[in-house]
Amino acid sequence: MTRGGIDRPMQWKSKIRLWHRACMVRSLAALTVLGASLCIEGCMDSPLPTDEASLSATFHLDGSTNNEGVEVVLPGTAYRGYSDSDGHIIFDNLPARTYELLARKEGYQDFRERKITLEPGDHIDLGIVHLAAIPRDGTLEGEVAVEDLAAASVTISLFGTSISSIVSATDGFFRLADIPAGLHQVLFGYPDEPPRLQIPVTIEAGKTVRLPRLLPGLRQASTLPPPPPTPDRCHRRCDR
């Protein structure tokens, strides 16, 4: 350093430091802008979060290998669909809320799930749901009391059907299954003889009717229902 002035090498060193500092500031600013640009580009490529959800289930029809055609509705909404041959169904793009699900098919019992809460982005699967077949037939059973000790067996049949059974007179217990629901006339007698007793029985689907030990010896025969009348082909008197 000289008297009355500034040492020139020191002045240049100070300028170089300032220049380096300015370069570092500009570099940091450029990196910041570049990072922000990359972040924006990455966010644009990423899928946006969704508020929608999905609900699925698989329905199996008892006694059937084809599970197609189960009607599935979400009551209170317009959502409705039908299962495929595997019994599968899915509802996509559902708004987040609480739903009720009803599944039904003719000949099978309904399935109802009353409260299914879907949060945004949920994917709920109810799994396999079995739909039980609605029974259409009933069963009749009882016991025959036989006074004729010579009888070896007793016949029980339903009038107008092919449903019948032969039971031992010493045991007397009988059971007729797969009887269509409705009113039937039950006939009791001995093999190779006309029926000796007839009683009306109402059969309900899916239930068993148990008759008491009510046939004292099959001694009295009742009148069978008359055969249907033969249609009269001549509706007016024919003149010769």
Q: Is the pLDDT of residue 193 over 60?
A: yes
Under the banding of pLDDT at 50, 70 and 90, the label for residue 144 is: confident
Under the banding of pLDDT at 50, 70 and 90, the label for residue 192 is: confident
Q: Is the pLDDT of residue 146 over 90?
A: no
Helix (H/G/I), strand (E/B), else coil: 43: helix
d(CA 101, CA 55): 10
How much is the average pLDDT of 133-149?
82
Nearest to 210 by CA among 174, 164, 182, 181: 174
Q: Two tokens at 207?
A: 């239930």
- Mean pLDDT, the chain, whole residue set: 78
What is the share, in percent, of the chain residues with pLDDT greater than 70?
65
Write down the pLDDT at residue 5: 46
Question: Does 169 or 39 have the greater pLDDT score?
Answer: 169
Q: Is the pLDDT of residue 238 over 50?
A: no
Helix (H/G/I), strand (E/B), else coil: 142: strand
Under the banding of pLDDT at 50, 70 and 90, the label for residue 201 is: very high
d(CA 171, CA 160): 26
How much is the average pLDDT of 175-184?
92
Write down the pLDDT at residue 191: 84
Contacts of 175 (CB under 8 A, 6+ apart): 139, 140, 141, 165
Q: Is the pLDDT of residue 233 over 90?
A: no
Contacts of 216 (CB under 8 A, 6+ apart): 145, 147
pLDDT digits (tens, 9 = 90+) for 44-76: 454 545 578 999 999 999 989 999 999 999 999
DSSP assigned state of 136? -
Under the banding of pLDDT at 50, 70 and 90, the label for residue 30 is: low
Strands 173-180 and 137-143: what pairing?
Answer: antiparallel
Domains, the chain, in order of start with CATH, read: 52-131 (2.60.40.10), 137-210 (2.60.40.1120)
